[in-house]
Structure 1
């Protein structure tokens, strides 16, 4: 093995928590910003209107696409403010737990990877949930909020601090399986596509995209419930405004739309998470490799005089 050939698969061990956090922050911002307009379309399709009649997903998607690009980007500042710190904490925790649970050992260890992803999700969601509430309020087609501060102050004044965390149990109920599936699926495909563990951008893109598609498909029903809880304060429907939690929100969706209601926004959700996961993982792995290789090169240059 030459100086420039080192085991990339072990970078979780060799990179510091700070480096993992920085790479995670950059990955999170890139992921959310790149796919934000599609995420706005998904949110608007999932929101239950007062009138029971709803256009088909294809028609609804067409209507949302015709919305101005400016409206589809509304609320992106909230994501930038929250995604950086939340993803920094997420990936730093993940790398630590992946080593602690034994996922970095040779071979496939899906349960260890899933456990590491689940642990990291608790830290991420506790920090990100208020920003996600603000983001979804601003994404609504009839939202009058112009700034993140205006939205946050209005929600707090009308609904109290609880509004920022009422969806947290549902978010965790969705995010823990989502991230567990995503991280274990990603690690599996990464090792299958690149068994030697060297840095390979195409591997990270493909493995990330497949992981995002699988995880988002399986957790869409919980995402619909979460959207109802996070946007209920702006609904004109008394029943929706009074939704008290996961079970109550799920009951409303079942009553209004049946089982199909739990898959509202399925297509744009998958279309959001498949490329966003590919972007997130490839950006994360790139910056982790870049910081490690820079540090490795610096160590080599310091040894040359000796």
Structure 2
């Protein structure tokens, strides 16, 4: 079970082990869902005025976008920005799950609340995600820039992107879009952990041994939690992406219209005026597919790796007891 479980103290894992499992889960998941992330970002950055009578954007459907990106930029375009995205996933997974495990343990030991309740998971999951967001925001900005650029490329590689952005835009550019990210990430991650906890208990009652992960139910529960959470908080993800490519208009020009925003409120107002309410949900279809796969696989692999480490510790303990018995 995700979170501190007092019923599994004999095989409890440290924060370092939770961080390792979170990193591994993020790395595997990122490699699998990257194509959907690239397509989602392309939709989010596409400007289409609601008053226009004709289709202005380059992309208007999930499969059409996939075919067009493949035809114009090749297969590897679906993994554009994969290196900063992988660094983001590894870093975010480590900080988020280590923080979450620590927070649920603190709640259990220092408050009257039960650490395995859905409400506790909502709060602890949201706080843990905010911590991870602050740490990892520069990598998220880099990932968005790489996924957004077409051909010819503005940034040759990760090192070139970092130096170019620092020199031309300043260090603070790596934190573009942080405010809508923090506003969105707390309820988004909190709801992920909340619904995962609810679905998990509905479909898979807690095991007395504490071994409950790495199975199909984890994948299904995580997928459902991801889709619900993403739909509720989606507009803030779109605002973040629009703000992150500020100062990057040259690379976006060939994809259609570009806009500059002064901040979160200005971004929301301009989108509402020009693109209507539907503009807040551009790219929702690939985003939901990605959220279902991403959240499902993240919880699946996290519990898989946790159980692998827990089983390894159990075998080492048993071998130690056996050796001590033989020596005596």
Specify if TM > 0.5. yes
User: Which aligned pairs between 1:91-240 and structure 2 lie closer than 5 A?
Assistant: 91-102=97-108, 109-142=117-150, 143-197=153-207, 198-200=211-213, 201-235=215-249, 240=259
- What runs of 5+ residues in structure 2 fail to find an aligned partner? none
Q: Kindly tell me: are residues 125 and 12 of structure 1, through their superposed partners in 2, closer, same or farther at Cα, counting changes over 3 Å?
A: farther
User: Which aligned pairs between 1:51-62 and structure 2 lie closer than 5 A?
Assistant: 54-55=56-57, 58-59=60-61, 61-62=63-64
Instruction: Name the larger-Rg structure.
Output: 2
> In the TM superposition, what whole-angstrom CA distance separates every residue of 1:243-279 from its partner, at most 9, and x where no partner exists?
2221111112112101110000000000101011111
**1:21 touches 1:91 (CA, 8 Å); kept in 2?**
yes
- Partner SS state of residue 245, structure 2: helix
Residue number in structure 2 paired with 1:4: none
TM-score, normalisation: structure 1: 0.89
Q: Kindly tell me: are residues 9 and 205 of structure 1, through their superposed partners in 2, closer, same or farther at Cα, counting changes over 3 Å?
A: farther
Q: Kindly tell me: are residues 164 and 175 of structure 1, through their superposed partners in 2, closer, same or farther at Cα, counting changes over 3 Å?
A: same
> In the TM superposition, what whole-angstrom CA distance separates every residue of 1:83-109 from its partner, at most 9, and x where no partner exists?
212211110100111222249977962
Q: 2 CA distance for matches of 1:279 and 1:120?
A: 19
> In the TM superposition, what whole-angstrom CA distance separates every residue of 1:135-163 from its partner, at most 9, and x where no partner exists?
11111142432211112222222211111
TM-score, normalisation: structure 2: 0.83
Residue number in structure 1 paired with 2:90: 84
Residue 293, structure 1, aligned to residue 280, structure 2: no
Residue number in structure 2 paired with 1:269: 287
Provide the aligned length of Structure 1 versus Structure 2.
Answer: 299
Residue number in structure 2 paired with 1:66: 68
